[in-house]
Structure formats: structure tokens, C-alpha cells
Amino acid sequence: MEEYQSLLQPGEYLAGIYQTVVIGGGHAGSEAALAAARMGAKTLLITMSPESVAMAPCNPAIGGAAKSVLVREIDALGGAMARITDQAQIQIRMLNTGKGPAVQALRAQIDKALYQRLMRRRLEEQENLDIRQGEVVKLLLNEAKNHIKGCVTANGAAFAAETVILASGTYLSGRVIIGDYDYPSGPAGYPPAAALGRFLRDMGLPVRRFKTGTPARVDKNTIDFSKTEIQPGLQGLYFSYLTRDGEFQRPSIPCWLTYTNPQTHKIIRDNLHRAPLFSGRIEGIGPRYCPSIEDKVVRFADRDAHQLFLEPEGENEREYYVQGMSSSLPEEVQAAFLHTIPGLENVTLMRPAYAIEYDCLDPLSLKATLEHKQWAGFYPAGQINGTSGYEEAAAQGLLAGINAAAACLGLPPLTFDRSQAYIGVLVDDLITKGVNEPYRLFTSRSEYRLLLRQDNADLRLTPTGLAYGLIGEERQRRFAAKKAAMEGEMKRLQAYHPKEKQLQALGLTANRETSLETLLRRPEINYAYIAAHFPPAEPLAADAAEQVEIAVKYQGYIAKQQAQVDKFKKLEQKSLPQPMDYQQIKGLSTEAQQKLTQTQPANIGQAGRISGVSPADVNLLLLWLKTHPQNKTGENDA
Amino acid sequence: MKSNEQQTIAAIATPPGQGGIGIVRLSGPAAADILAACQNIPLSEQQRRQPRRLYLHDLFDERGRLIDRGLTVYMPGPASYTGEDVAEIQCHGGPQSLSQILATALSHGARLAQAGEFSLRAFLNGKIDLSQAEAIGDLISAKTAAGARNAAGQLAGRLGKHIGELERRLTAVQAAITAAVDFPDEVDEPQRRHIAEQLAAVAAEVQALLDKAPAGQILRQGLGVALAGPVNAGKSSLLNQILGFDRAIVTSCPGTTRDMLEEYIDLDGLPLLLRDTAGIRQGEDISEPERIGIDKSRQALARSQIVLLVADLTAADFSRPHILSLASACAGQTLLVLNKQDAAAERLAEAKALYSADFAAADILPISAKTGQGVAELLARLKEKAGAAQLWQEEDGLLVNARQRQALQLAVGHIREAQQALAEDLPQDLITIDLEAALTALAAISGREVGEEVLNDIFRNFCVGK
Ligand SMILES: Cc1cc2nc3c(=O)[nH]c(=O)nc-3n(C[C@H](O)[C@H](O)[C@H](O)COP(=O)(O)OP(=O)(O)OC[C@H]3O[C@@H](n4cnc5c(N)ncnc54)[C@H](O)[C@@H]3O)c2cc1C
Ligand SMILES: Nc1nc2c(ncn2[C@@H]2O[C@H](COP(=O)(O)OP(=O)(O)OP(=O)(O)O)[C@@H](O)[C@H]2O)c(=O)[nH]1
Ligand SMILES: [Mg+2]
């Protein structure tokens, strides 16, 4: 109590004492608050507008390549995103079928408003969790201990806490740019949070400006769908391992495909001088994977058509999202070029496209737990760490929530490495390589992706979730049943050698070695075939059967990746002291010395992934570790 | 993956250029297997032999062609120099046999040892005491520093360019598959036939490189010593003087040497690769052939371990501005040669004083390339310098090529696996696992970052994004 009082300024009052305070109720903040409270930490979620929790300011979709694995991982750890998507989806598809088990990806269109309502309800139903409206303008700093001890709102309400999660998204010093106009704003017309951005700068944290953009929304009633191609969805697909078939009655609303044409491009080209990106009005760094339409027209000048999708923002909303047409050209130019597009000739704008610039922090200063290296108890998560994307934000929020609560409850910190989860890949990339543009996950970022599939996220992570108290009974039961069924069937397939006659009757060649497992490995045979002709005592549930099929069919490649992982793990286990004075290691190259000093890698493996750290530098680190056994920071034996 | 005691490492353990016996050393779990393979005998026969005893046996390359006859010895861990299983192959045959044996060991699965890695392993396994650790650290960093400075040289050659081009093409295939996976709405899956063609073409080229590589490339061993300086300083004259016969054309007309000349000499057992370069001058009246020669000279400076900077004592400013700018382009050690002493003996003191701030007194050597005066002293000093420069040796010539060769070998293996997966109709994403491994193997020489390159390629060549 006194400790906290002493941190307050005149006019501020102590409004509450918590174990964990979460600033911001976006995708990161929501998952963080739920996880921390679920583990039993007394938690406060403080956000500028509780009715906009988990708002999706850009496309009305969850999942997609790489991201869908994240959603599944969040689910396997007891998070909310997958379940709520299943309840709020209005169309779902499986992408990349036939391209390999590691890259199959679910993507759902969601009813945005419904998603927000469901998340709000979930937050309100959560025990140990208080929700409070307010704009945080500063953090409570115990500078003697380098510890963050809570935060203060614009009204002087101070909330004390052992741990603080900052999930402020694109709001900090937000600035919206449309053509010749720019003004301070958060996304979608919500107010920006300028004071907190200034406060972080004053704390001496390096703050950078990133930029992102969103396309226009148009009125459904003014679209001529007959001139576009329909993109229907599928049924019976779910994100959450918990969702039962038919549990939620959801509509399946199509998206629509149409194309730009030379006329569209001409209007864009003629107005390029008014595009802030080209006129220099935008300083923030935007993502290469989300180019605006003016960018595309300039960079791919030889193309005379770009595709665009019309996506519903909700089941009943008239607003349609024009995917592919992100822009920061003036509103009237936007309207003009949209009117050249088949189906959109008479369309009415409901919201213009815009670009937004915002403050974010440097993730190189974070540990793998997402705790800040200089400020104990401080966990930035989500877009504030230079990422982009709902799923990336939610995954970080979950991890930060778990670790913040773990710190308060005396549990060991939780980290994932690159071989365990996409969450691990995401965090390791952030804290090892840093970011030069808003960071998004891609399948190619995950070198061990054949082991990190969306279909086995539960097998990989649910036991961890259980250990941290994040997993409910129902999930636990279903998980155990799936695992047992799968393992039992694998054993059976290996042990069962069909008689030659049996196989001949099916027209299959055979020899002494032929087991059901080797049969299943043949390209022309799938698990359904095995189950039909050599059925197990209990038929397998579809998800367990899928695991069995993948494990057998891709065994060769899975073994290859496992061997890579085994190598990787060895170096990952050799911990480096924190912090470490790299000046004392003679012989390191200057670049390696600088990068290592800045990044302070947790182990030799991470050190080796820093660009500029050579194999020889790694050997010098190994040598140093061996000559300094007094560092009891880890397994230093070679 | 950067350092791993599970891997068996190999290197030539004797200093280069010394006559007599040379040794290739192997350390790691596969030492016995590789030793057996190099002799073309079954592992069981190798295992029947007594450890720590020398056996005389023929040595064969990976295609079963005889390389040489040599002595082999096997020393199982932990009672060995590194504490791991160690094998050594000794032979007489000079640098070429040695490098062939090393290349064979690599093709049987050994990895080329990094600088100081044998000692490092010995130390990590408690075979060397703590007091030596610092020396090992020095060794690693000295060699690495040399290697880094030399990196430009490594990849400047034709082979380096070729490897870069192969990387680019593999990256393009990888990017095409990956773009379709990451942006399924926008990018179509590449045709399997197209991928197959690309992979077949790349694999064939890699194989062709490998077939050409062994002897030709690896023979280029020797300490690189370049002669550089302004036109007409007397570089070619000095080369002829050192060689003892007229190798290079000497005229009084500036810009005589246009193409770089390379010549091997054995300086009391030390193999030197002398490079006479085109004199570097600036200006408009430079012809195209001369300009190309000058570019080559610059590369030679970056690649050579020692550069003899030849200044002209009869020149107004003793060529000093020119010499200093050349010195800054040198990666290795430098000696200043003040030539034409016979014609300008009276200006020597002035020249020495002028250069005293730039070079150590012992590194300033007055000579006359015409009369041969001072050349013996120059060579003596060169030998001293070469002793220190030997630390470099591993990074240049022979071993760089062995490393490139091994990278190519690994890469072609992974490409073949990708081709097989393609033939078996496995999904495209699995192919990227092999391609990534192939690219990673090539990256060991080029130093590129595989993942970033693939993303860069995607954003450059595919129009993706909302
Ligand atoms: C215009 C635009 C386009 C985008 N395009 C895409 C896209 O195409 N694809 C994609 O995947 N992602 C896109 N994104 C990013 C995506 O919206 C974010 O990555 C994701 O929502 C970030 O989640 P978050 O939880 O970190 O932050 P946000 O969702 O931004 O949530 C931040 C929360 O913090 C609260 N808050 C902020 N400051 C304070 C404060 N001082 N006090 C109290 N509360 C505060 C806000 O009220 C809000 O609730 C876009 C975002 C915008 C704005
Ligand atoms: N007096 C004297 N003349 C020399 C000496 N060395 C070279 N020269 C003369 O200098 C001229 C140029 O000599 P080169 O050896 O061709 O000079 P270079 O540096 O190779 O010149 P380029 O190839 O044109 O760059 C010739 O006329 C030589 O005879 C020397 O030691 N003394
Ligand atoms: Mg010449």
C-alpha cells in the first residue's frame, strides 16, 4: 500500500490494487486478461472503450496461412480466439488443401460486431477479472528497482499491480492519413492515445513509427453482384478443438471476386501526386505484404488487372470490405477508381480507405517471456511490439498474460522455442531479429513447420496449458481421448501384418514385411481405405484418424525435420548469462559484439541466429561458457 | 546448426607448403567410417585393426580412383587429441594428394573444420587445460578476421558468381511455392513440371561444377602475393627478377600489363602465387581492355595475403598518394617496395622519410628491379611476413574451394531429394523442406540469409496483399 502511495503524484488517487493490469482490450489485451485471470491472478483490464474490445479494424477474417496455426495454438492453450471465431463466423474455408499437411489453413469470415460482443461477454464472465474504462496516460515506475508497478488514467485513477501488460495496438500517437488530410486518430474513428506514447518516449524507450492501411467499405445495396464471381464457403470446419459439429448454427455468406482494369489504373496514376506515400506525408514504415493499390499499380505496372474481393463485415451489416484496395488517396479519388470496377459502378462509400501511423516499441528489448529486459514486471504485447495481425496480437497477449500471472503466482516462466510452436517462431523472430516493418507470420518463417501443424497444436501444447491451469475439464477429457485413440491405432498399424491372401483379394502386392503401416505409406492408399478393410475395434474420430494418417504418410519428412530439431535443441540448451558483458570475450567480431550486446540472447542457439554472428563467434561463446563454469545459468556442458 | 559435436570434422593438419609428409585429420563419431571409406575397405576391416597403429594402404577418391598410397591411423576417443574418435591419413604426395584426400573425406560425410575447431573440441572435452583456452580463442579470431577480410575475394571468382546464380534460381522456385502457400487467393501453385525442369537444370549445373572442381580448382594453392603500384613503377620487372626469367613484358610505355599474370614459385619450400597486376591509373584515355585489367587488379588486392606496393623513386611524389590509396584496398599485409634505386639513389633518404609515417621501417625495401639490388632482402622480409600469413592459408585457395565443393555436394543431395519427392507426387510444401536445406548448404559459402531472401523474392516478384 505505502509502496504504491509513494509513487503517486498530487491529484492522483489509488483506485485499485491488482496482481496484473492489462492496458488495452484489443486481441492481445483480451487474451492476456483472460489467461491471467484464468490462472488465478487478480486482474484488471483497462481500455478506452469496453464496447470495442477485440475490434477488428481491418479485414473481417480470422486465420489463413500460418495464422491459422496460431489460432489453433491459442486454442490448445485455452485461449478464446478459436472458440469465438467458431461462434461468430459467417463463412469458413480450408486453404491449401493438397499442398501439404503443414500448410493447410482454415480461414473464416467473421461477423465483426458479433465477435466483439462475444468477447466482451467472455471477459465479463471471467472470474478474477475486472474491466474498467479509461485512457492510461502513464505507468507507475519504481525507478530504484526498475520495476513497473501499475498505471494511471487521464482522470488520475492509479491502479497498482505487480505486472503490467501493455497492449495498446495502433492507438499510441495514432495519426490517420487520407489524401491531403491527416489528423490525430486511432483506427476506425476511435480517439488516439497520445499521452501514453509521449510517456514511453520520456521513459527513454526507443519508440518507432510504423504504418498500416485499410481499404474502403462500400454499401452492399449499391453493389451489382451479378457482375462478380461468387466465392462460396464450406461447412463443418472449426477452429477450436472444443467445438462439436453442429454446435453453433452459422450462416454461410459468400464473398465476391472482381477485378480492376486499365481505367482504374489510369485514375490512380493520374492522382499519384496526391498519394501521401509518394508525396512524403507518411513517414512510418509500412508492411511490404500489404501494399496499397497505388503501390501495386506503380510496382507492377505491366499488369492491367488486380483482383479484389468483396467481403461482408457482418451477417446483417450493409458494409462490405473491399479486399485488395487499400489506399490513402483522397476520398474522391477512391470513389472514382472504385466506380470503374465491374459490380462497383454505382457503389456508395460507407468508410473511406485510410492509412494510420502509430508508435511501437523495439522488441529486441524483450525476453522470450515478453517481459521487458530493463523494466521488470512490464510485458508489451501485440501490435505495440511491431507486429501486425489479429492472430499475432492474440498469441502474444496469451503468452504475456500467462507469464505476467506466473510471475505473480510463483510459477516458472513459460517460453516456446522455434521447434515447439508458431508462437515460439513469432517471439524468437521478434526478440532476435527485431523488426524493420510491421511483422507478420508466414509459413516460410517456420523452418520446422512440418512438425508445427494446425492439426497437432493440441498434442504439442495442451499439456503445457494444463500445467499452467489454463485448460478446463472438458478439453482435458477430449484431449486425453484423442491421444489415446491415436497412439493405440499407431501401435495396431505397426503390429498388424495382413495375410497375403487378404491382400491379394484386394489386388494389392505384398511381402512378409507388409504391415498396415507400410500399406498406408503407399501413395494410393489412405486411412479411410485401411479403416474400411482392416477396421480397428473402435472406429477412430476424424481428428485422431488424421493424425495417424499424417504420421505414417509423411514419416520420412517428419523424421528429417525431427533430426534438424534435435540439432537445434542442443544449442538452445546452452544458456548465456543475463545480462552478459560481451566486451570481455576477446576475438568476437565488432559487429557480433554490438549485436550480442544489444540483443542479449538467452542461449547459444539464439546468439547464432542473430545476423552478423558467425559460426566462429559462436565457437568463441562456447569457449567462454566452458571457461566460466561459475555461471550457473544453465547446462554448459558440451 | 552452427556448431555441433555430433558432426565429424576434417582438415589438413600440417601447415601448407611444407615438403615431406602431410596429414589429413578427422574427428568425430564417423571418423572410423570415413577412414575406411577413404581406403575402400569395409568398416569391419577397419575395426579389426589395432588402434593407434600405422597401416600402409592405398587411398581412393569417392569414385574409387587411386589417389596415393599412405599411412592411416585410428585413435578412438576419449584417449585421443580431441577426446573424440580421431583418424589421420598421412601421405607424401604434396598438396594435390592432400587436397584430394580431404575432398574425399568431405564427400563421405565429414564437415570441413572451422578455424581452431580441433583445438576447441579438445578443450571442450577437457583434453587441453584452461591456460591454453585463450590461445585457442586467439587462433579462432585471428583466422576468422583473416577470413572475413578475405570474404570478398572468396566469392569474387567465377565459381562464386556461379553459386550465387544457382542460389538465385533455387530461391525463385522456393519463393514460387511459398507464395502460393502464403497467398493462396492471389498466387497459383507453380506447375510441378516447371519445378521439375528448374530443379533438373540446377542439379545438372551443380553436378557439372563438381565434376570440374577437384583438381583444377584445388591446385590453386599457395600464398597469394600481388605486385601493385602505379603504371611504369616496375612491377613486371620485379616479377621477372624474382622468377629469374622474363615472364612478363616490360616496356617503358605506361599500361603495358593489361591482363593479370599469375606465376607459382617455391620460395625455400614456401609456395607463392605471384600476381603481376595492371598498373592502376585513372583518366579518360584508358582503353576498355586496360579498364578490365584494372578491375582485376583491385580484386587481386582484396584476395592476396601479401601485397608488394611498388613505388617509383623517380616519380615526382614517389607515387605516395597512389600507393596509399592502393594500400587501403588491400586485405592482407603490405610491403612498400621503392624501385629504381639505381636511377635515383640520391632521393632514397627523402622517400624513406616521406613514407615513414605510413609503413614500419622494416617494411620499406629499396630495390632495383633492373639490377636485382635489394631483391634478396625483399624476399627475406617476404618470408617473415608469410610466416604470419600462414594463419590465413586455411581461408584461401585450397580450403575455400573444399568448402565450396562440400556445399555443392550437400546442395545437390538435397535437390535430388526434392526431385524424388516431386516424382513421388508428394505435396509441394514438403519439397520446400529439401530446397531450404539445399539453400542453407549454399548459404554456408555465400553467407546469405535464406529465409529473408525467399520473402524478398516473393515481395519483389508477386503482387500480393490486401
Ligand atoms: C487500419 C488498419 C489496418 C490493418 N490491417 C490489417 C490487416 O489487413 N490484417 C491484419 O491481420 N491486421 C491488420 N491490422 C492490424 C490489426 O488490427 C492489429 O494487428 C491487431 O488488432 C492488433 O491487436 P492489439 O491487441 O495489439 O491492438 P488493438 O486491436 O489495436 O487494440 C488496442 C486496444 O488498446 C486500447 N488502448 C490503446 N491505448 C490505450 C490507453 N492508453 N489506455 C487504455 N486503452 C488503450 C484500445 O482502445 C484498444 O482496445 C490493421 C490495423 C489497422 C488499424
Ligand atoms: N632504371 C630503372 N628502370 C626500371 C626499373 N624497373 C623498371 N624500370 C623501367 O620502367 C619501365 C616500366 O617497367 P614495367 O616493369 O613494365 O612497369 P610496370 O609497373 O609493370 O608497368 P605497367 O604494366 O605499365 O603498369 C620500363 O622501361 C623498365 O625498364 C629499375 O629498377 N630501374
Ligand atoms: Mg607491367
- Taking only the tens place, the pLDDT of each residue in B365-419 is 999 999 999 998 998 888 777 754 443 333 333 344 566 677 788 899 999 999 9
Calculate the CA A433 to chain-centre distance. 17
Choose which residue among B227, B237, B275, B346 to substitute to test ligand 2 binding: the one with the highest number of ligand atoms within 8 A of its C-beta. Answer: B237
For B419-434, the pLDDT digits (tens) are 999 998 899 999 999 9
Mutate to test the pocket of ligand 1, among A34, A209, A359, A388 (most ligand atoms within 8 A of CB): A388
Question: Which residue on chain B is closest to A303 by alpha carbon?
Answer: B463
Return the closest-CA partner of residue A399 out of A414, A378, A409.
A414
Kindly list the residues from chain A whose CB atom is less than 8 angstroms away from the CB atom of residue B2: 571, 608, 615, 618
Ligand 2 atom with the smallest distance to the CA of B258 is 23
The set of residues, in sequence order, having a beta carbon less than 8 Å from that of A599 and lying 6+ positions away, is: A364, A431, A432, A434, A606, A607, A610
For residue A58, the SS3 value is coil
Tell me, in angstroms, the distance from the centre of ligand 2 to residue B309's CA.
14
Contact A587 B114 (CB under 8 A): no
Supply the residue whose CA is at minimum distance from atom 30 of ligand 2: B340
Grid cell for residue B370: 633492373
Percent of chain A with pLDDT over 90: 79
Looking at the complex, does the CB of residue A638 fall below 8 Å from at least one CB of chain B? Answer: yes
pLDDT of residue A13: 96
> Is some CB atom of chain B closer than 8 A to the CB atom of A447?
yes
At A372, give phi and psi (nearest 5°).
-70, 140
Cβ B414 under 6 angstroms from ligand 2? no
Give the residue, out of A30, A173, A390, with the most ligand 1 atoms within 8 A of its beta carbon, to mutate for a pocket test.
Answer: A390
What distance in Å separates the CA atoms of residue A149 and residue A139, rounded to the nearest whole number? 7
Residue holding cell 505491366?
A: A302
Residue with the three cell numbers 592502393: B326
Distance between CA A493 and CA A503 in Å, rounded? 15
Work out the average pLDDT over A232-241. 93
Ligand nearest to the CA of B344: 2
Q: Select from A560, A589, A623 the Cβ nearest to the Cβ of B433.
A: A560
In this prediction the pTM is: 0.77
Using CA of residue A508, residue A513, residue A515, residue A517, what is the dihedral sign? Answer: negative
pLDDT reported for residue A638? 32
Residue A633's pLDDT band, with cuts at 50, 70 and 90, is: very low
The residue written with cell numbers 593479370 in the block is B260
Closest to A303 (Cβ–Cβ): which among B3, B123, B463?
Answer: B463
Contact check, Cβ <8 Å, B182/A560: no
A620 touches chain B (CB under 8 A): yes
Candidate from B141, B427, B464 with C-beta closest to A98: B427
Report whether B404 contacts B216 (CB < 8 A): no
| Adjacent-strand bridge partners of A46 | A23, A132
**Ligand 2 atom with least separation from CA of B231:** 25
- Whether ligand 2 lies within 6 angstroms of the CB of B299 is answered as no
CA distance A487 to B165: 47
Residue ranges for chain B with pLDDT beneath 70: 1-5, 14-21, 93-96, 115, 129-160, 212-222, 246-248, 255, 257-258, 264, 266-271, 280-287, 289-291, 293, 387-404, 445-448, 465-466
Q: Does B5 touch chain A (CB under 8 A)?
A: yes
Q: How many residues does chain A have?
A: 638
Helix (H, G, I), strand (E, B) or coil at A162: strand
Residue whose CA lies nearest to ligand 2 atom number 12: B232
Instruction: Identify the sign of the CA torsion B235, B239, B241, B246.
Output: negative
Could you tell me if B4 lies within 8 Å of chain A, comparing CB atoms? yes
Nearest CA in chain A to B145: A589
pLDDT the model gives residue B137: 66
Predicted confidence band of residue A304 (pLDDT cuts 50, 70, 90): very high
State pLDDT tens for residues A129-176: 999 999 999 999 999 999 999 999 999 999 999 999 999 999 999 999
- Does any CB of chain A come closer than 8 Å to the CB of residue B459? yes
Q: Nearest to residue B422, comparing CAs of B409, B408, B432, B412?
A: B432
Instruction: Out of A98, A622, A627, name the one closest to residue B3 (CB).
Output: A622
Grid cell listed for A111? 461477423
CA–CA dist B42, B304 (Å, integer): 43
pLDDT tens, residue by residue, A345-362? 999 999 999 999 999 999
Please, what's the largest Cα pairwise distance for chain A? Answer: 90
DSSP symbols for A408-440: HHTPPP----TTT-HHHHHHHHHHHH--SS-B-
pLDDT of residue B203: 93
Q: What is the number of residues in chain B? A: 466
Please report the residues numbered 165 through 194 in chain B whose beta carbons come closer than 8 angstroms to any beta carbon of chain A.
Answer: 174, 178, 180-186, 189
- Ligand 1 centroid, distance to A167 Cα (angstroms): 8
The span from the CA of A455 to the CA of B406, in Å, is 38
Q: What is the model's pLDDT at position B285? A: 61
Counting residues of chain A whose pLDDT is more than 70, the rounded percentage is 98
Does residue B114 sit at the A interface (CB-CB below 8 Å)?
yes
pLDDT tens string A540-568: 999 999 999 999 999 999 999 998 899 88
Q: Check residue B258 and give its pLDDT.
A: 67
Q: In what order do the strands lie in the sheet with B261-267?
A: B261-267, B270-276, B223-228, B306-312, B333-339, B364-366
- Is the C-beta atom of A29 inside 6 A of ligand 1? yes
Q: Please compute the mean of the pLDDT values over residues A32-36 and round it to a whole number.
A: 98
Long-range contact list for A194-198, CB < 8 A, 24+ apart?
A195/A135, A195/A137, A195/A138, A195/A154, A196/A23, A196/A135, A196/A136, A196/A137, A196/A138, A196/A168, A196/A172, A197/A172, A197/A173, A197/A359, A198/A173
Q: Is the peptide bond before B78 cis (omega within 30 degrees of 0)?
A: yes
Cell triple for B51 = 588402434
